[in-house]
Amino acid sequence: MCELLGMECNVPTDIVFSFAGLTARGGRKGPHADGWGLALYEGKAARTFMEPAAAADSPLAIFLRNHPIKTLLAIAHVRKRTRGHVSLSNTHPFCRELFGRHFVFAHNGTVKDVRRFALGRFQPIGTTDSERAFCALLHKLERRFKTYPSSKRAFFAAVSEMGAEIGQKGTFNFLLGDGEHLFARCATKLHHIIRRAPFRQATLADDDFRIDFSEVTTPSDRVAVVATMPLTSDEEWTVGTPGTMWVFGDGKLKATLQSR
Amino acid sequence: MCELLGMECNVPTDIVFSFAGLTARGGRKGPHADGWGLALYEGKAARTFMEPAAAADSPLAIFLRNHPIKTLLAIAHVRKRTRGHVSLSNTHPFCRELFGRHFVFAHNGTVKDVRRFALGRFQPIGTTDSERAFCALLHKLERRFKTYPSSKRAFFAAVSEMGAEIGQKGTFNFLLGDGEHLFARCATKLHHIIRRAPFRQATLADDDFRIDFSEVTTPSDRVAVVATMPLTSDEEWTVGTPGTMWVFGDGKLKATLQSR
């Protein structure tokens, strides 16, 4: 199994604190030593840092902790492989262009029988069920919408419905970014928290790291964080209901959709 | 104008020496302070490090110099913008999936009237003529070949011909990687060198950096390096003829094609 981390904010924010918590699980605290990745958006474009190796000891992961990059939208992943060997092409998050923007995707779980879905122009580069499921989702979106959807409601409903369809067999917890929204589907296990004023202190559950958010924020800041398991020990995380998908935008929970 | 750097080898090689020479031109020695990028392949997948800022002072570029990643195929770029503002989405190299593999592209020059070419499914994310030219090239390749071309001869000829067509108006020096080959088109200015046994010493032209390749290689190693301008002061670089394209594979010059 793998662990997911997403962040979506209304002001550029660095993901160092949460990423530290996640990477502590990438080989040192957790059994997720087969790769890690971190995608950071700047507008419609994302850049992805990744390594097919344990995050806990990775010089690049440590570099990113020491040189924080601020962003409005980030998706990270630490991997314990279930399908596909350890390689760069099998390392999440995956990234593809659709509608003139990057879509970024990370998956927790195993999708079964994913070969039954058409992929159209989106061909997998690696051998994971995850990348194939992502390609299937993008192909469905491209067939449904010719351009980036102007109706958020239709867009959100489509992602939710398509996610349920692709994840019908197996376990399809995922994070999907499009540069504006963070889609977070809970098949079995997902949590979120929205940090806003009054900000307070938080302590990582898996690392010797505490932060006082009131010292690094302004009163209008809103930061939504999604993770497979709560990353902090002294905050209240909202537990995801299996079969629901959250959509975050501007640091707010914009929608909660149900589909099975 | 921008500067290009490509490396294609028969054994995994780090690009630190050449990258140091290139990044010395990224703001400190040269006027290319508007961004840099480095794409490194592992098989059919590439990961790209990039920053919309000067390479010479970039902590990430310094990190990559200090933590070399070995690869068979790499493409790097330092940017002095001519079209498009300074942003991540306008930073080379650009990367797209086609035929189930990453294609990576970097451009030197300005392509004019590039909007006359159809793009099909490949939509630009940024606003550069370069990314649009890359999208046009991929669309042409997808239309010509349904899958990754089995005939190298037809593949090489197609890239050469399409490059000439797209670059007909303007200046279209480019590097293109597909995970197996490095295509290097010279419109006005490009140089290459193939390092092989007996290896000797080389000194960077723009940085205080010298290396004795005989100490870090085996006799069967072959490393092809392409750059806008020669990176070393004490080696003999082959000068590109305008209107030709080199194709490198396994550290060898596989083909030289002419097209105007």
**For position A189, what pLDDT does the model report?**
96
pLDDT in tens, B203-257: 998 877 889 999 989 999 999 999 999 999 999 999 999 999 999 999 999 999 9
Pick the CATH number of A3-258 from 1.20.140.150, 3.40.50.1370, 3.60.20.10, 3.40.220.10: 3.60.20.10
Task: Give the closest residue to A51 by CA, choosing from B47, B14, B13.
Answer: B47
Indicate yes or no: CB of A89 within 8 angstroms of CB of B50.
no
List chain A residues with CB under 8 Å of B142.
121
In 3D space, the residue among B112, B141, B252, B241 whose CA is nearest the CA of residue B196 turns out to be B252
CA dist A62 and A50 (Å) reads: 12
Say if the Cβ atoms of A121 and B121 lie within 8 Å.
yes
| B152 confidence band (pLDDT: 50, 70, 90) | very high
Q: Do A59 and B43 touch (CB under 8 A)?
A: no
Out of A125-129, B51-55, B112-116, B181-185, which region has the weakest mean confidence (pLDDT)? Answer: B51-55
- Whether residues A122 and B97 touch (CB distance < 8 A) is answered with yes
**Chain B nearest C-alpha distance from A123 (Å):** 5
The shortest CB-CB distance from B63 to any of A63, A121, A123 is to A63
Nearest to B250 by CA among B177, B176, B152, B182: B182
Q: Residue A31: what pLDDT?
A: 62
Could you give the residue ranges of the DSSP H alpha helices within A71-193?
129-144, 152-166
Look at residues B239, B127, B122 and name the one whose alpha carbon lies nearest to residue B173: B239
A6-46: per-residue pLDDT in tens?
A: 999 999 999 989 998 888 876 665 666 788 999 999 999 99
Distance between CA A196 and CA A222 in Å, rounded? 5
Are the C-beta atoms of residues B192 and B117 closer than 8 Å to each other? Answer: no
Is there a contact between A138 and A103 (Cβ–Cβ < 8 Å)? yes
Spatial CB neighbours of B32, under 8 Å, sequence gap ≥ 6: B1, B2, B3, B25, B26, B54, B55, B78, B79, B80
For A123, the closest of B60, B88, B100 (CB atoms) is B100
Option in A42, A60, A142 nearest B88 (CB): A42
Q: How far apart are CA B175 and CA B82, in angstroms?
A: 18
Q: A59 and B67 in contact by Cβ < 8 A?
A: yes
| Total residue length of chain B | 260
Which residues of B lie closer than 8 Å to A, measured between beta carbons? 42-45, 47-50, 52, 59-60, 63, 67, 87-89, 96-102, 121-126, 142
How is B129-179 classified by DSSP, letter by letter?
A: HHHHHHHHHHHHHHHH-SSS-S-HHHHHHHHHHHHHHHTSSB--EEEEE-S
| The residue count for chain A | 260
B52 contacts in chain A (CB < 8 Å): 42
CA A99/CA A153 separation, integer angstroms? 17
Residues of A in contact with B100 (CB under 8 A): 123-125
**Catalytic residue positions of A?**
2
**DSSP β-ladder status, A70-78 and A45-51:** unpaired
**What residue type is assigned to position A74 of the chain?**
A
Chain B residue at shortest CA distance from A146? B121
Residue B35's pLDDT band (boundaries 50, 70, 90)?
confident
pLDDT along chain A (260 residues), means of 10: 92 92 72 84 97 86 91 92 81 97 97 96 96 98 96 97 96 98 98 95 87 92 96 95 98 93
Indicate yes or no: CB of A125 within 8 angstroms of CB of B100: yes
Closest CA to A26 of A6, A53, A66, A54: A54
Cβ neighbours of residue B160 closer than 8 Å, sequence gap 6 or more: B185, B245, B257, B258, B259
- Give the pLDDT confidence score for residue A159 in this predicted structure: 98
- B45, B99, B123 member nearest A126 (Cβ): B45
Show the tokens assigned to B142: 């997808």
Q: Is the pLDDT of residue B28 over 70?
A: no
**DSSP letter for each residue of B33-80:** -S-EEEEEEETTEEEEEEESS-STT-HHHHHHHHS--EEEEEEEEE--
CA dist B59 and B14 (Å) reads 18
Contact A67 B44 (CB under 8 A): no
Identity of the residue in B59, B102, B125 whose CB atom sits nearest the CB atom of A45: B125
Q: CB–CB of A43 and B89 under 8 A?
A: yes
CA distance B59 to chain A (A): 8
What residues of A are in contact with residue B122 (Cβ under 8 Å)?
97
Assess contact for A80 and A31: CB atoms under 8 A: yes
What residues of A are in contact with residue B88 (Cβ under 8 Å)?
42-43, 45, 47
User: N- to C-terminal Cα distance for chain B?
Assistant: 21
Q: What value does the mean pLDDT of chain B take?
A: 93
Which tokens go with B170?
């303007």
CA atoms of B209 and B187, how far apart (whole Å): 30
Sign of the torsion angle spanned by Cα atoms B49, B52, A250, A61: positive
With CA atoms as reference, the chain A residue closest to B91 would be A45
Q: What is the ipTM of this complex?
A: 0.93
Question: Which residues, 6 or more positions from B231, have their beta carbon under 8 angstroms from its beta carbon?
Answer: B5, B18, B21, B22, B204, B205, B206, B225
Quick one: which of A7, A41, A76, A75 has its CA closest to A251? Answer: A7
Min CA distance, A108 vs chain B (Å)? 21
In Å, how far is B89's CA from the nearest CA of chain A?
5
